Amino acid sequence: MHIEGAERIAEAVAKYDVDRFVHVSSYNADKHSKAEFYRTKGVAEEVVRSIFPETTIVRPAPCFGYEDRLLNYLATIKTAITSNHMQQRFWPVHAIDVGMALEAMMADDHTAGQTYELYGPTNYSMAEIAELVDKEIIQERKHYNIPPSILKPAAGLLNKALWWTITSKEEVEREFIDQKIDSAAKTFKDLGIEPAELEGLTYEYLVSSE
């Protein structure tokens, strides 16, 4: 999906001479990554650029906002099992800021052919964000660490035994990869946008999910 899906869209863009094409990729997109998710995202970036060189590539960090898969996910029991003591680090970004950035790109032809890394102002570990979430929901979620050598093969069995999805081999792999910022890429600053801080918005988004 990451590669062939993006390729088909880029081919249609080129065929019908569409003025602008913004390809939303992912943070850590890298064709040499150990994680298949990041690896296929990296390959897709090269594919769309080879077909439509004017493609604007956007790499958002993990997003927080309404019905997100970060704050609201950490507020559930689905994160009970981890494999890296929740020590993976990244710069969470406000989904609304990403939306504003995409809107700005579409209105500015100078963003064509550019690559943007969109990330928040503060670097957190997943454990630090979980602590912020626990304070807001007034609960202390338990997190049990299982070594990857055990959790990877067990992930499929756990998902079959439980009614909710725990994790996957691929997600376990990504727990050990911190977010890396491409210093050559443009950022929010180049769009005149000041990204919001996660800590000031945790209450708003967790209350809305109740």
Measure the CA–CA gap between 93 and 191, rounded to whole angstroms: 15
pLDDT at residue 203 greater than cutoff 70: yes
pLDDT at residue 154 greater than cutoff 80: yes
Backbone torsions φ then ψ of 145, nearest 5 degrees: -90, 125
pLDDT at residue 162 greater than cutoff 90: no
**Closest CA relative to residue 129, chosen from 69, 180, 182:** 69
Least confident window among 13-22, 39-48, 115-124, 161-170: 161-170
Q: What percent of the chain has pLDDT over 90?
A: 80
pLDDT, residue 165, reads 67
CATH code, 4-208: 3.40.50.720
pLDDT, residue 208, reads 55
Measure the CA–CA gap between 101 and 136, rounded to whole angstroms: 29
> Helix, strand or coil for residue 71?
helix
pLDDT, residue 164, reads 64
Locate the domains of the chain by residue range: 4-208
Average pLDDT over residues 145-162: 83
- What the block records as the tokens of 139 is 């609960």
pLDDT, residue 103, reads 97
The 10s digit of each residue's pLDDT in 36-57 is: 999 999 999 999 999 999 999 9
Residue 124 CA: distances (Å) to CA of 2, 25, 39, 93, 97: 27, 21, 23, 11, 18
pLDDT at residue 26 greater than cutoff 60: yes
- What the block records as the tokens of 107 is 């209105």
String of DSSP letters for 82-145: ESSTT--EE--EEHHHHHHHHHHHHT-GGGTT-EEEE--SS-EEHHHHHHHHHHHHT-----EE
Residue 4 CA: distances (Å) to CA of 9, 38, 112, 129: 9, 15, 22, 34
Per the DSSP assignment, residues forming a β-bridge with 56 are 22
pLDDT at residue 27 greater than cutoff 60: yes
pLDDT, residue 76, reads 87
Average pLDDT over residues 19-29: 97
pLDDT-based confidence at 140, cuts 50/70/90? confident
pLDDT at residue 210 greater than cutoff 80: no
pLDDT at residue 160 greater than cutoff 80: no
pLDDT at residue 91 greater than cutoff 80: yes
Backbone torsions φ then ψ of 94, nearest 5 degrees: -70, 125
